[in-house]
Structure 1
Amino acid sequence: MVDKIRKENRMPYYIFSSNSREREETVKKLLKINQNHDIRRVWAEYNNDRSHESRIKGILSLKCKNTYRGIPGYWVKIESDSNDYGKQTLLYLHNIIGIERINDNVFYPKTALSFKELESEWQKKYRFKNGNQHPESYRIFFKEIKMLMSENQLNNAYYGLILLLQTKSGFLKKYNRYTILEDLAFRLDQEGDFDRAERCLRLQRKVMPDSSFPALNISNLYLLNGMSEKAVRVLRSSLKKHPNDQYLMHNYIMALSNEGNYHLAVATLKKILEKDINNSFYWKLLADLFYETEDLQTAIKCYRKALYGDIEEIQEDIRADIYFGMAACFYETNQYKKAKQYYLKVLKTFPEDHYTLMNVSQICFHHLDEPEEALKYAKIVEEKGSDNGYIHYQLGLIYMALEIREKAKWHLYKARRMIPYFQPVHEALHQLRSLENKTQKLTFDK
Structure 2
Amino acid sequence: MNVINIFFPTENLRNYYVKKVFNLKEMMQDENFQYLSIPGIKSIKFKSKYKKTSGYWVKIELNDESAGKLIKNKIYDIIPHFWIEQHVFFPMKLIPQREMEELWIQKYNLINEGTDSDAWKNFLKEGKNHFKEGRIDIAKAVFMCIYKNNPFFLKKYKRYYVFEDLAYAYEEKGELYKKYSMFESSS
Q: Compute the TM-score of the two structures, normalised by the length of structure 2.
A: 0.87
User: Which of 161, 164, 168 pairs up with 2:150?
Assistant: 168
User: Which residue of structure 1 aligns with residue 53 of structure 2?
Assistant: 71
Separation (CA, whole Å) in 2 of partners of 1:114 and 1:203 = 16
Separation (CA, whole Å) in 2 of partners of 1:115 and 1:22 = 27
User: Which of 83, 87, 90 pairs up with 1:105?
Assistant: 87
Deviation at 1:46, TM superposition (A): 5.0
Give the match's secondary structure for 2:65.
coil
User: Which residue of structure 2 aligns with residue 61 of structure 1?
Assistant: 43
Separation (CA, whole Å) in 1 of partners of 2:146 and 2:136 = 15
Structure 1 position 143 matched with structure 2 position 125: yes
* Amino acid across the alignment from 2:28: R
Separation (CA, whole Å) in 1 of partners of 2:155 and 2:136 = 21
User: Which residue of structure 1 aligns with residue 34 of structure 2?
Assistant: 47
Unaligned runs of 5+ in 2: none
* Amino acid across the alignment from 1:164: I
Separation (CA, whole Å) in 2 of partners of 1:68 and 1:48 = 23
The answer to whether the 8 Å contact 1:127/1:133 transfers is no
Give the match's secondary structure for 2:164.
helix
User: Which residue of structure 2 aligns with residue 12 of structure 1?
Assistant: 3
Do the aligned partners of residues 113 and 174 (structure 1) sit closer, same or farther apart at CA in structure 2, a change above 3 Å counting? same
Deviation at 1:133, TM superposition (A): 5.5
Give the match's secondary structure for 1:49.
coil
Separation (CA, whole Å) in 1 of partners of 2:36 and 2:142 = 43
The answer to whether the 8 Å contact 1:19/1:134 transfers is no
Give the match's secondary structure for 2:95.
coil
User: Which residue of structure 1 aligns with residue 23 of structure 2?
Assistant: 32
User: Which residue of structure 1 aligns with residue 159 of structure 2?
Assistant: 177
Do the aligned partners of residues 145 and 72 (structure 1) sit closer, same or farther apart at CA in structure 2, a change above 3 Å counting? same
Do the aligned partners of residues 66 and 131 (structure 1) sit closer, same or farther apart at CA in structure 2, a change above 3 Å counting? closer
Equivalent residues, number: 187
The answer to whether the 8 Å contact 2:115/2:153 transfers is no
Separation (CA, whole Å) in 2 of partners of 1:46 and 1:65 = 13
The answer to whether the 8 Å contact 2:3/2:59 transfers is yes
The answer to whether the 8 Å contact 1:65/1:77 transfers is yes
- Answer 1 or 2: which has greater helix percent: 1
* Amino acid across the alignment from 1:32: N
Separation (CA, whole Å) in 1 of partners of 2:36 and 2:156 = 44
The answer to whether the 8 Å contact 1:182/1:201 transfers is no
Separation (CA, whole Å) in 1 of partners of 2:72 and 2:53 = 21
- Answer 1 or 2: which has greater strand percent: 2
Separation (CA, whole Å) in 1 of partners of 2:15 and 2:115 = 15
Give the match's secondary structure for 1:130.
coil
Matches within 5 A, 1:271-282: none
The answer to whether the 8 Å contact 1:15/1:103 transfers is yes
Q: Compute the TM-score of the two structures, normalised by the length of structure 1.
A: 0.39
Give the match's secondary structure for 1:171.
helix
Deviation at 1:126, TM superposition (A): 1.3
Matches within 5 A, 1:317-336: none
Separation (CA, whole Å) in 2 of partners of 1:160 and 1:88 = 37
User: Which residue of structure 1 aligns with residue 171 of structure 2?
Assistant: 189
The answer to whether the 8 Å contact 2:5/2:58 transfers is yes
Separation (CA, whole Å) in 1 of partners of 2:116 and 2:75 = 23
Separation (CA, whole Å) in 1 of partners of 2:131 and 2:31 = 37
Deviation at 1:45, TM superposition (A): 5.2
Separation (CA, whole Å) in 1 of partners of 2:115 and 2:65 = 39
The share of aligned pairs that are identical, in percent, is 27
| 1:269-296 CA distance string (max 9 Å, x none) | xxxxxxxxxxxxxxxxxxxxxxxxxxxx
Please provide the CA RMSD for this pair.
2.4
Unaligned runs of 5+ in 1: 1-9, 207-446
